Amino acid sequence: MNDRKMKLLASFFLLFSISLAAQTDTIIDGKKFSHIDYYDNGKVKSIGNYKDNKKDGSWKYFYKSGKVLEYGSYTSGKRIGTWVNFDKERNKQTIKYKKKNINAETEEYDEEGNIRFSVMIKIISVDF
């Protein structure tokens, strides 16, 4: 094989291996993510991980504009712990999932970070 073909072949394998590495894991804010969904405009829609075909670990969702919509954690496909979400005006709301998604506490904050209201709700049926 001549030198030009060898360089072309080596370049192909280098690009191919970089492409495969980019598809396996992405690290953002020190957390490793293996699944990324995109909007038609190319911006990230959601980022997270799957385990046994169920959402697991940290997940983050975004508006089409690229701003964060919400983030939190899953265990075996169920939301757990504290989830934080933002409306389009950037008002922050937290939801704390307890006892396998049966009880949730929500707090909404104003622009200065003060709690606007806090509510405890009981969720009868959840289908995410």
pLDDT band at residue 14 under the 50/70/90 scheme: very low
Q: What is the pLDDT of residue 105?
A: 67
pLDDT band at residue 68 under the 50/70/90 scheme: very high
- Mean pLDDT, the chain, rounded, equals 75
Residue range 34-122, CATH number:
2.20.110.10
* Tokens 């911006």 belong to residue: 43
Structure tokens at 61: 């969702």
Which residues on adjacent β-strands are paired with residue 28? 31
Q: Which helix (H) or strand (E) holds 66?
A: none
Question: What's the burial of 83, exposed, middle or buried (CB within 10 Å: 0-12/13-18/19+)?
Answer: buried
pLDDT at 87 over 90: no
User: Rounded distance, CA 115 to CA 128, Å?
Assistant: 27
Q: What is the pLDDT of residue 29?
A: 65
Q: Which helix (H) or strand (E) holds 26?
A: strand 26-28
